[in-house]
Amino acid sequence: MGPTVTCCRRAEQSDGGGDRYKEKARSHGRPGTPLLAVRRVRLKEEELAKPRSVGLPTSKSKKALHYMQVYRNYYDFSKASDQAQLWYANGNSSAAGDGISITKMKTWSTGRVAYKEAVRLWDDHRTGKVASFQTNFSFSINRRNSSEGGGDGMAFFIGPFPPSLPPDSDGAFLGLFTRNRQRQPTVGVEFDTFWNPNQGIELDPTDITTDHIGIDVGSISNCISYTKGLAYGSLSSGTMEAGITYDAGSKLMVVTLRLANGTTVSVQAKVDFKDAGLPPDAAVGFSAATGGLMESHQLLSWSFSSLIEPSRKTSTRLWVILLISAASASLAGLVAALLYYGTMRRPRRSHSFQIDLQVARKFSYNELSAATNNFSKDRKLGAGAFGEVYMGELQDLRMPPVVAVKKLTRLMEQTRKDYVTEINTLGQLSHRNLVKLLGWCSGGGELLLVYELVTNGSLEEHLHGPERPLLGWPERYKIVLGVGAAIDYLHTGYLKRILHRDIKLSNVMLDDAFDAKLGDFGLVRQVDPEQGDLGGTCMIGTRVYMDPICISSDTVSTASDMYSFGVLLLEIAAGVKPAEVQVAAGGGHLSNTLVETVRESYARGAVLEMADKRLEGNFNKSQMERVLAVGRLCIQLERQHRPSIKKAVNLLSDLSLPVPQVGCI
């Protein structure tokens, strides 16, 4: 037996093993407890030989790379020692039971919280190159009561280090800028809950009078891009999720916000960090302020990653990743991982140190082997498309007690390479609608990843399983928005586009609240944002969900994921499984019955005939029509006519938007 490596995937069952799987899961797990899954994959010796640690020269060498290095373990902010891993500007900001409070619920309160170390924003010593970055965070802004107005808002900022709170920066200045007119070396993304009239200085854009998101450069009055049309109170109506990406090449900053009601809004602008006066080593964090009205500002989760692309003379790529994850009882964790790819020539006089790859909790191999009783037959739960699934138990009280272990047995050469990509990718992804990576292990010639397995089963089980109660329309519509948000994160919320390549019902897991979590990332691929189709990477998905162009040309793109998403939308609305039939005898092409039926229904003007008959009309007609319409747009044969995921999510979440005609996108 050669060495193996374990990769993160959701546990799967064979058609005949589902009941046995669920029975054992219940007998080992506590109610409502997330499960873990571990999977083993055989890899070549040379793949395991790739470095898992980082050697970096220090400043003793003149040839040393001047990059910021950050490495931290996992912290629980319920303890005072761990709370010190973040920098708090004043007494108004503090770690709370379920998040980080940036301000207190009182008038004229300001606060700041930031990562305690500087992050390299641009290289001032060698190349002058600027970092691209991506950050995701969830937060909430809450008024004292709904009858009062909000004031004033919260912001993400990049500015000088240390990140001291600017004087006289309360109210409309959001803890970002001081009240004087002098330009300040700070870039902020504001989530403004109160429109301030002109007070000798333009505090807010003059053509809006409601909540807005804006990109500020140098001062609060220099809001170079902002949203219009947000309803009053939109930014103080529950938990929101934001994503901010910055591409150094194009200097484009894109801000996307998912409101508490599921609506997605975005704003973008070109920002030159050097022209803005930002230093090479900058602070990243959050600020907030109140004025004459009260509201609280809570940060619930935060991930940040930055990348300075290597010059042609080097082949070094350096990532800095910071992660704060929230728990219901306490805000848990700050993880910063340093990933190093490629090789570099080390100067003779340089001193090197080692940093282990640690993006999550590290397990010992013996711990996971013991959890599965050495992968014994009596722990076998079933089999999926790529291997067998085992049940295991963890003794670590800090982790969920039950694990599932998947041992892959049918892998091709390209699939092995895909799993190597998966290892590097999964640890950097963080989104509420994605199955979460929890830990990893290397030992005994193996690399294993430990990940969340949601306990309420898959969407396929709930929609088509004979033993499940009928899945109602409110739950289905919620799932549609959740899966859309997950794909949006993969396609646009990360430094590189990520293609899932196997979007289908069985890869959508549901928690007890029927929130969707997209999993099964064994087929993901990363592509450059400017890159088009990928060749030779398509024929490994599930045929009935697969883009026909993939089958004919073996090329894949984000539009391929959109086709699969379209089939999934139609299946959720119609409650009918997609199937393939031979169109003509003697070798005619295959046709997807669900897709063709939808097209025929539209041609006859009988769209709602496609609605799941089991619902007996108990659904929101506008929502049903919109899901079918967006699904139809996604399954268009020409890739250029399919909507982007962001367009699709906006159409699904905002029913007031007009649906484009087929062929007009």
How far apart CA 161 and CA 280 sit, in angstroms, is 10
List strand residue ranges (DSSP E) for 342-414, in order.
352-356, 361-362, 380-383, 387-393, 402-408
Q: What residues have CB less than 8 Å from 402, skipping those under 6 apart?
A: 25, 28, 29, 33, 35, 36, 391, 392, 393, 394
Burial 95-118 (b: 16+ CB within 10 A, else e): bbeebbbbbbeeeebbbbbbbbbb
Please tell me whether 417 is known to bind a ligand.
no
502 catalytically annotated: yes
Question: In this structure, what token pair is assigned to residue 436?
Answer: 């979460």
DSSP 490-545: HHHSSSSEEE-----GGGEEE-TT--EEE---TT-EEE-TT---EES--TTS-GGG
Other beta carbons within 10 Å of 510: 22
User: How many other C-beta atoms can be found within 10 angstroms of the C-beta atom of residue 409?
Assistant: 12
- Name the residue with tokens 């033993």: 467
CA atoms of 637 and 640, how far apart (whole Å): 9
Residue 635 to residue 621: CA distance in whole angstroms: 21
Cβ proximity of 304 and 54 under 8 Å: no
Q: For the beta carbon of residue 607, count every other beta carbon within 10 angstroms.
A: 16
Give kind and range of the element (H or E) at residue 453: strand 446-453
Q: Report the C-alpha gap between 89 and 104 in whole angstroms.
A: 13
Backbone angles phi, psi at 598, to 5 degrees: -65, -45
Task: Give the residue among 332, 276, 272 at the shortest CA–CA distance from 83.
Answer: 332
Rounded Cα gap, residues 204 and 388, in angstroms:
59
Closest CA to 329 of 96, 75, 86, 138: 96
User: Do the strands 516-518 and 94-96 form a parallel or antiparallel pair, or are they unpaired?
Assistant: unpaired
Given the residues 192, 502, 533, 561, select the one marked as catalytic.
502
Distance between CA 378 and CA 380 in Å, rounded?
6
CA-angle at 161, arms to 111 and 428, nearest 5°? 85
Exposure string over 279-295, b if 16+ CB within 10 A, otherwise e: bbbbbbbbbbbbbebbb
Residue pair 191/205 in contact (Cβ under 8 Å)? The answer is no
CA 148 centroid distance within chain: 34
- Distance from C-alpha of 21 to C-alpha of 267, rounded to nearest angstrom: 46
- CA 105 to chain CA mean position, Å: 30
Binding site as annotated, residues for ATP: 407
The residues annotated as belonging to the active site are 502
**Known binding-site residue numbers:** 407
